[in-house]
């Protein structure tokens, strides 16, 4: 990044030297207006609304066991899905970078598919695919495994949604990892397994954690791809975003808002953690600097 | 098993096992789903699939999605460019806070992105009833859908432009200023040409996300077929009504539109990356 030039000498008056580049005021006014209207105002409503009905309504909303069940299901499913995605994503990243597979370009394009497909399409597709009569659901049902309309279905949907985050976080780091590292380790007598566990995987760790965090943060708020395949039974397979919708249909605004608030705080914390990790990595380490 | 291209040994884990794993993951997770969408749509033939798309409610959903997408893209592009310009080219107090606020919608669950508008404009919202009385309907009407879409796609243009604009600094802009260019001249003739591929990429990302948005729109729409149903919402209605062929036909169309947009974006993004000396992920 180029340093912004100090051009304060050009300005003879004013308490603080103003920036001579024209357009500051119009850009500032437009940005503040727009951010205020579309982001700050609605989020302010979200933060202030729960207290509007008084502290009683708020504590009542927070004593809802169905809400905690839904939050637990969302968090646990997102965690498990992101965790399973880690090895899958690392393998795919390896295949893209190191293995000269036939169809590598097609695989590369397919990785972004879960980003590209609208969530509602993902939802009905996975529900049909893993449903009792589905291409994968029917054979699995023979083995006594049911995925659609259970809590497992939630994990399957979140795995699909989260996979690209891991691949796209790990891939650039693996690409930038100089092969000399591995060769040097090999020359120094490391066995191939040691090269992977002591050299390659540690270098990929920050990027993997980043990808995991992104997939997890996305997973706890995910709605469209999940609701069709999840059974949506309270306490068993009802995710937190769905419970928000249910509460809204019951006109229970405090209930809906308190769930929304918890989800917002959780995913913000998650993304702040990732930003912190990235800054640390960018500052402190040679390999594994995620972009 | 001996590797062919290089003498570099990958691991004790046999190479073929990793390759088999790769093709299995790709096949089950990434190839089966899109194939299923098209197969379900064409189950009763191509003609039937087309007929379901000609249904009045389906056409109205397509029209609403196109309108909402175009409106969100235009509005968010204008403000996204100004926001990126502001943050990249100037230093001012609370600049970091403003950046964080612009990024905020990314971390918000789609359902929450819809809920916030009901808190303002819903029947129990702050201003909902007052506006209803003077005949302004926002929740459960197209304006609410637009606001929800704007919120969800708010950061993408600014986010795509920012790293590139910051990297380019403002030497070009300062030179233009010293030559007497006005703000709009600098923006149109200096800054935007410098970032044109990134801008296009941000616009396309906004487009893809706007047309596919489900959760946020679902909360504010009220699901009135023919009036407030976008394509994703109509897919839900059809699917829940056991009209599988119609649902998947609409899904095929929507997915094709979104994937074409994203595909175009990867193409331009590659060009954008080539345009910068050090490729930076947007």
What pTM does this model have?
0.87
A79 Cα to chain B: minimum distance (Å): 16
- Chain B residue nearest residue A173, CA to CA: B281
Does B75 reside within a domain? yes
Specify whether B60 is located in the same domain as B193.
yes
Does one domain contain both B54 and B107?
yes
- Report yes or no on B107 lying in a domain: yes
Reading the block at residue B169, the tokens are: 């600094």
What is the phi/psi pair of residue A17, to 5°?
-65, 120
Count of other CB atoms within 10 angstroms of residue A13: 6
The verdict on B173 and B190 lying in the same domain is yes
The reply to whether B143 touches chain A by the CB within 8 Å rule is no
If you measure CA to CA, which chain A residue comes closest to B167?
A: A1
Say if residue B5 is in the same domain as residue B72. Answer: no
Put simply, the answer to whether B85 touches A27 (Cβ < 8 Å) is yes
Does any domain span residue B99? yes
In a domain, B281, yes or no: no
How far away is chain A from the Cα of B159, in angstroms, using its nearest Cα?
14
Whether A85 and chain B come into contact, CB under 8 Å, resolves to no
Q: Is A24 on the interface with B (CB under 8 A)?
A: yes
Domain boundaries, chain A: 67-284
Domain CATH for B263: 1.10.3720.10
Tokens 């003609």 belong to residue:
B47
Q: Which residues of A touch B110 (CB under 8 A)?
A: 119, 221-224, 241
Residue B280 lies in a domain: no
CB distance from A79 to chain B under 8 Å? no
Spell out the per-residue pLDDT of chain B, length 282, in tens: 444 444 444 445 678 888 899 999 999 999 999 999 999 999 999 999 999 999 999 999 999 999 999 999 999 999 999 999 999 999 889 998 999 899 889 889 999 999 999 999 988 888 888 888 888 888 899 999 999 999 999 999 999 999 999 998 888 999 999 998 888 999 999 999 999 888 999 999 999 999 999 999 999 998 888 889 999 999 999 999 999 999 999 999 999 999 999 888 888 777 767 765 444 443
Number of domains chain B is built from: 2
Instruction: Tell me the Cα Rg of chain B.
Output: 23
CA quadruple B173, B174, B175, B180: dihedral, nearest 10: 90
Contacts of B5 in chain A (CB under 8 A): 100
CATH number for domain A67-284, candidates 3.10.20.740, 1.10.3720.10, 3.40.50.720, 2.20.28.160: 1.10.3720.10
Structural domain harbouring B7:
1-41
Residues B16 and B129 in one domain: no
B260 inside 8 A of chain A by CB: no
CB B262 within 8 A of CB A112: yes
Q: Dig out the tokens for B278 from the structure.
A: 């050090």
B81 and B28 within one domain = no
Q: What is the complex's ipTM, to 2 decimals?
A: 0.88
Q: Based on the fold, state whether residues B51 and B33 are members of the same structural domain.
A: no
Tell me A152's DSSP state.
Answer: H
**pLDDT tens, position by position, A38-62:** 999 999 999 888 777 777 777 777 7
Same domain, B175 and B107: yes
B152 and B229 inside one domain: yes
**Is B263 within 8 Å of A160 when comparing Cβ atoms?**
no
A250 in contact with B, Cβ within 8 Å: no
Interface test with A, best of B12, B112, B260 (most A CBs within 10 A): B112
> Domain check: are B30 and B169 in the same one?
no
């Amino acid at each position: 990044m180029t340093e912004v030039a100090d051009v304060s000498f050009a300005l003879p008056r004013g308490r603080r030297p103003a920036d001579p580049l024209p357009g500051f005021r119009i850009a500032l006014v437009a940005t503040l207006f727009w951010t205020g209207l579309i982001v700050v105002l609605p989020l302010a409503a979200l933060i202030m609304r729960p207290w509007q009905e008084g502290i009683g309504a708020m504590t009542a909303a927070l004593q809802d066991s169905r809400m905690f069940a839904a939050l637990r299901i969302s968090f646990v499913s997102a965690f498990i899905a992101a965790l399973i995605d880690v090895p899958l994503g690392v393998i795919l990243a390896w295949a893209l970078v190191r293995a000269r597979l036939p169809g590598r370009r097609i695989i590369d394009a397919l990785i972004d598919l879960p980003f590209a497909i609208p969530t509602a399409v993902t939802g009905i597709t996975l529900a049909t695919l893993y449903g009792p009569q589905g291409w994968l659901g029917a054979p699995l049902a023979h083995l006594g495994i049911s995925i659609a309309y259970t809590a497992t279905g939630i994990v399957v949907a979140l795995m699909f949604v989260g996979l690209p985050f891991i691949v796209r976080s790990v891939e650039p780091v693996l690409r930038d990892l100089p092969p000399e590292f591995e060769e040097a380790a090999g020359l120094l007598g490391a066995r191939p397994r040691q090269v992977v566990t002591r050299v390659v995987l540690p270098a990929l760790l920050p990027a993997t954690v980043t990808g995991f965090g992104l997939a997890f943060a996305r997973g706890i708020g995910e709605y469209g791809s999940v609701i069709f395949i999840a059974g949506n039974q309270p306490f068993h397979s009802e995710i937190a975003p769905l419970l928000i919708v249910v509460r809204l249909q019951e006109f229970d605004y405090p209930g809906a808002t308190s769930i929304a608030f918890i989800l917002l705080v959780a995913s913000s914390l998650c993304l702040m953690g990732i930003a912190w990790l990235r800054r640390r990595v960018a500052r402190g380490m040679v390999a594994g600097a995620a972009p | 098993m001996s590797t062919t291209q290089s003498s570099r040994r990958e691991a004790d884990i046999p190479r073929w096992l990793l390759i088999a794993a790769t093709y299995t993951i790709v096949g089950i997770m990434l190839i089966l789903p899109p194939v299923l969408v098209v197969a379900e749509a064409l189950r009763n033939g191509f003609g039937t699939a087309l007929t379901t798309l000609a249904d009045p409610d389906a056409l109205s959903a397509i029209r609403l999605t196109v309108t909402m997408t175009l409106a969100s893209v235009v509005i968010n592009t204008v403000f996204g460019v100004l926001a990126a310009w502001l943050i990249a080219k100037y230093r001012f107090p609370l600049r970091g806070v403003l950046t964080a606020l612009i990024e905020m919608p990314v971390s918000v669950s789609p359902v929450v992105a819809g809920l916030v508008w009901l808190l303002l404009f819903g029947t129990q919202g702050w201003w909902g009833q007052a506006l209803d009385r003077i005949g302004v309907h926002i929740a459960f009407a197209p304006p609410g859908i637009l606001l929800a879409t704007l919120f969800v796609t708010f950061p993408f243009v600014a986010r795509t432009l920012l790293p590139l604009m910051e990297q380019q600094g403002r030497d070009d802009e300062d030179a233009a200023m010293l030559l007497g260019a006005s703000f709009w001249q600098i923006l149109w003739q200096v800054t935007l040409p410098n970032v044109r591929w990134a801008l296009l990429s941000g616009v396309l990302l906004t487009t893809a996300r706007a047309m596919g948005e489900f959760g946020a729109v679902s909360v504010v729409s009220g699901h009135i077929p023919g009036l407030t149903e976008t394509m994703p919402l109509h897919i839900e209605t059809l699917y829940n009504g056991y009209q599988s062929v119609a649902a998947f036909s609409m899904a095929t169309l929507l997915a094709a539109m979104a994937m074409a947009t994203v595909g175009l974006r990867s193409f331009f993004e590659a060009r954008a990356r080539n345009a910068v000396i050090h490729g930076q992920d947007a």
